[in-house]
């Protein structure tokens, strides 16, 4: 388990993290593509596309309202807490998450960019700049923004642009080390972010499944669950930098 880049770590190192659904699996939140994952239980095209919203907005609202209820009962796990501890030691730590939950923030991480939106926010269908915190656990059909149009979940649906992708690419392009945690790397443009890491910089991946990292010669894959793997990795990083 030797990690060459740990020898070069200092407090000023720029560390970025790309997290996916596996990060929150041990908090009891379903992943998408594992056995029994959400996309086995629901048809993406009926709940997570602009077409789905046009065809049956109440079904889409119900789907995300259920996700939000589940999230409100969930707690951050050991991996979320370890990353928050990492940020305390390495102030230039940035988390780029594909997750719409707020478990990184609830564990104390402050520099978190949500690529696919945020479950606990709603936004206007008429003006994407009108974004609101959701009080309680649901968006109701008939609940409107200040301009009088229906509120929708503040999430990125399949077929929609990913407004934060450029900012995320910029962060990774300036990183000394990239940690990739709990993502199948199936969904673009998020999966393409790995290519923005400067040549020669290391990628450390923590995910129990087999992943194709053949395009990244400076990558290490720990086939472990996030709770155990991230905790272990953060311990090693903190030891190396002291």
Q: Determine if 107 is a binding residue for ligand OAD (CB under 6 A).
A: no
Q: Determine if 182 is a binding residue for ligand OAD (CB under 6 A).
A: yes
Q: Which residue has the tokens 């919203």?
A: 53
Angstrom distance (rounded) from CA 69 to CA 63 = 10
Window contacting ligand OAD (CB under 6 A); options: 56-64, 83-91, 106-114, 177-185 = 177-185
Q: Which two tokens stand for residue 153?
A: 């979940």
Catalytic residue among 116, 154, 195, 218: 116
Angle, CA of 68, 69 and 71, to the nearest 5°: 60
Q: Determine if 207 is a binding residue for ligand OAD (CB under 6 A).
A: yes
Q: Closest separation between CB of residue 11 and ligand OAD, Å?
A: 27
Among 209, 213, 232, 238, binds ligand OAD (CB under 6 A): 209
Say which residues have a Cβ less than 8 Å from residue 162's Cβ, sequence separation at least 6: 115, 116, 156, 189, 190
Instruction: Give the single-character DSSP code of 150.
Output: B
Q: Closest separation between CB of residue 20 and ligand OAD, Å?
A: 3
Among 184, 218, 238, 241, binds ligand OAD (CB under 6 A): 184
Among 67, 114, 116, 154, binds ligand OAD (CB under 6 A): 116
Pattern 211-240, binding to ligand OAD, x per CB under 6 A? Answer: --------------xx--------------
Active site residue 196: no
For 124, counting Cβ atoms within 10 Å of its Cβ (0-12 exposed, 13-18 middle, 19+ buried), the class is buried
Q: Determine if 87 is a binding residue for ligand OAD (CB under 6 A).
A: no
Three-state DSSP class for residue 132: strand
CB 104 within 8 A of CB 80: yes
Q: Determine if 21 is a binding residue for ligand OAD (CB under 6 A).
A: yes
Phi/psi of residue 219, nearest 5 degrees: -125, 150
Q: Which two tokens stand for residue 165?
A: 């992708």
Angstrom distance (rounded) from CA 238 to CA 185 = 27
Q: Closest separation between CB of residue 232 and ligand OAD, Å?
A: 13
Pattern 51-80, binding to ligand OAD, x per CB under 6 A? Answer: ------------------------------
| Rg over CA atoms, the chain | 18
Q: Which residues bind ligand OAD (CB under 6 A)?
A: 20-22, 25-26, 31-34, 37, 48, 98, 116, 156, 182-184, 186-187, 207-209, 225-226
Catalytic positions, written as ranges: 116
């Amino acid at each position: 388990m030797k990690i060459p880049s740990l020898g070069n770590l200092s407090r000023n190192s720029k560390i970025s993290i790309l997290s996916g659904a596996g990060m929150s699996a041990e908090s009891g939140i379903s992943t998408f593509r594992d056995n029994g994952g959400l996309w086995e239980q629901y048809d993406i095209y009926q709940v997570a596309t602009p077409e789905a919203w046009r065809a049956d907005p109440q079904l889409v609202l119900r789907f995300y309202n259920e996700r939000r209820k589940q999230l409100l009962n969930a707690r951050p796990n050991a991996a979320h807490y370890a990353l928050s501890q990492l940020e305390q030691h390495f102030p230039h730590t940035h988390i780029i998450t594909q997750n719409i939950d707020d478990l990184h923030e609830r564990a104390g991480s402050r520099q978190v960019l949500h690529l696919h939106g945020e479950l606990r926010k709603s936004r206007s269908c008429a003006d994407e700049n009108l974004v609101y915190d959701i009080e309680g656990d649901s968006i109701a059909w008939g609940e409107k923004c200040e301009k009088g149009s229906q509120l929708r979940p503040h999430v990125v649906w399949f077929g929609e642009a990913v407004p934060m992708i450029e900012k995320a690419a910029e962060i990774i392009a300036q990183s000394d080390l990239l940690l990739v945690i709990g993502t199948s790397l199936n969904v673009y443009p998020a999966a393409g972010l790995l290519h923005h890491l400067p040549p020669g910089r290391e990628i450390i991946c923590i995910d129990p499944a087999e992943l194709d990292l053949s395009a990244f010669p400076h990558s290490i894959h720990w086939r472990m669950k996030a709770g155990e793997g991230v905790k272990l990795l953060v311990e090693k990083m903190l030891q190396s930098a002291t």
